Amino acid sequence: MKIKYYCLILILFFLTLSNIHAQQNRVNWEVYIEYDIDTLGTDRVQFLNLQDGELVSIAVDGERYTLFSNYVLYFDRSIRAVRIARPDGLVEAHPFIQLGAARRVDWIVSEDKRLIAWTLTYDSANGLTTVTTVSNPSGNDQNLILSDGPRTDGARILPVAFTVENSAIILDSQPDSIGDLAPYQQYASLFQLSLIDGSITPLLGEPSCFCAASLRAGQLIRLSVTSDFTGFDVNVYDLVTGEARLIQSIGLVNYTQGGDILISPDGRQAIYALSQVEINSTEASVRTVLMLINLETFSQTQLTEPRNSYIYPMNWTEDNTSVLITIPDNNGTWKVNLSTGELTTIAKATYIGTLIL
């Protein structure tokens, strides 16, 4: 018995060593985008090896850069195709997501990076048809989960987010193309589709206004503009208990564009951008503040002073005490301290995330 016991200990010891060795051999690559590096609007994808400082740069004509598996997923505008860029400098067509006869493609990636969902939109004389598919990173387990249409009401389906544990997917039914005109992503009628039994259920409070929303940590946050256009009320729905709470606007006059809500991983707070847009005869002027939502006291406060541009919250960092942001038409990444509201430049390019290979 002692021999078997010691053999088991040795096996566990070597398995632990093997796991440690494998983790030590993994490399973290930070990914940045430098936009509009020439007059053609070319972008530069930058992979920074955090182990040895190696920098790999790739010039692409892309948009909607997304980290998935071991690559950057993006849409190539020049050839209208879904492509991938890797830290070794390789650029190629995505192995299983392509437009084909479709007019557009939209995708989302699960929080744990284990699943991807994409929706293809098709035009025909009979109306719009959308087809949504879910797959693992390798593409060998593709499941068509929803085919909608043809529809003559001009609405299309858009993937929004996966739920906790990836048991369902949240989708939106919204007017086609209108969302592309808004500075922040907006949603019209959110619903949940079970990946277990295929059942469809409207989310709490849906359909709603064509406003911003975010889902994380079992919560749905929905903005709704006030009747007197003094900012946004914040609607908080607990997707587990069904409880609904309303956080009233603080009363910023004519701040009627809000979105890019970012809920912290622990579900205790959230941040969103709130913009005032004034249009005169020659151009539009934009002023944006960041709003901080306390999801424990159900209150919201103005975090930053107005800035003359749109602002896009990207990631929570430093144990949820800071948020990384980007500013359109300004290459770079900034950090906002939640205690002071101060902005600090941390990179000259736009931070996308980190790949672990």
Q: Which residues contact 136 (CB under 8 A, 6 or more apart)?
A: 114, 115, 116
DSSP string, 140-164: SS-EEEEEEEEESSSEEEEEEEE-G
10 Å CB burial of residue 11 (0-12, 13-18, 19+) is exposed
**Please, which residues bridge with residue 30 across strands?**
48, 354
314 pLDDT exceeds 60? yes
Q: Are 164 and 218 in contact (CB under 8 A)?
A: yes
Q: How long a stretch of residues is the chain? A: 357
Q: Are 275 and 231 in contact (CB under 8 A)?
A: no
23 pLDDT exceeds 80? no
Give the pLDDT band (50/70/90) at residue 333: very high
pLDDT at position 116 is: 98
Tokens of 94: 């995505």
pLDDT digits over 235-260, tens only? 999 988 999 999 999 999 889 999 99
- Cα–Cα distance for residue pair 288/308, rounded to 1 Å: 6
- Cα–Cα distance for residue pair 222/13, rounded to 1 Å: 50
- Cα–Cα distance for residue pair 336/29, rounded to 1 Å: 23
The average confidence (pLDDT) of the chain is 90
pLDDT digits over 163-218, tens only? 988 999 999 999 987 777 889 999 999 999 999 999 999 999 999 889 999 999 88
Exposure on the CB side of residue 224, measured as CA atoms within 13 A: 17
20 pLDDT exceeds 70? no
pLDDT digits over 81-114, tens only? 999 999 999 999 999 999 999 999 999 999 999 9
- Cα–Cα distance for residue pair 336/312, rounded to 1 Å: 11
Give the pLDDT band (50/70/90) at residue 329: confident
Measuring CA to CA, which residue among 68, 156, 83, 164 is closest to residue 117? 68
Q: What percent of the chain has pLDDT over 70?
A: 92
22 pLDDT exceeds 60? no
DSSP string, 1-34: -HHHHHHHHHHHHHHHHHHHHHHHH--EEEEEEE
pLDDT digits over 108-147, tens only? 999 999 999 999 999 989 999 999 999 999 999 999 999 9
- Cα–Cα distance for residue pair 286/182, rounded to 1 Å: 13
Q: Which amino acid is at 319?
A: D
pLDDT at position 253 is: 87
pLDDT at position 3 is: 52
Helix (H, G, I), strand (E, B), or coil: what is residue 181? helix
The domains of the chain, with CATH numbers, are 216-357 (2.130.10.10)
Gap between the terminal Cα atoms of the chain: 41
pLDDT at position 21 is: 44
Tokens of 151: 């529809």
Per-residue burial over 271-293, b if 16 or more Cβ lie within 10 Å, else e, is bbbbbbeeeeeeeeebbbbbbbb
Q: Are 212 and 252 in contact (CB under 8 A)?
A: no
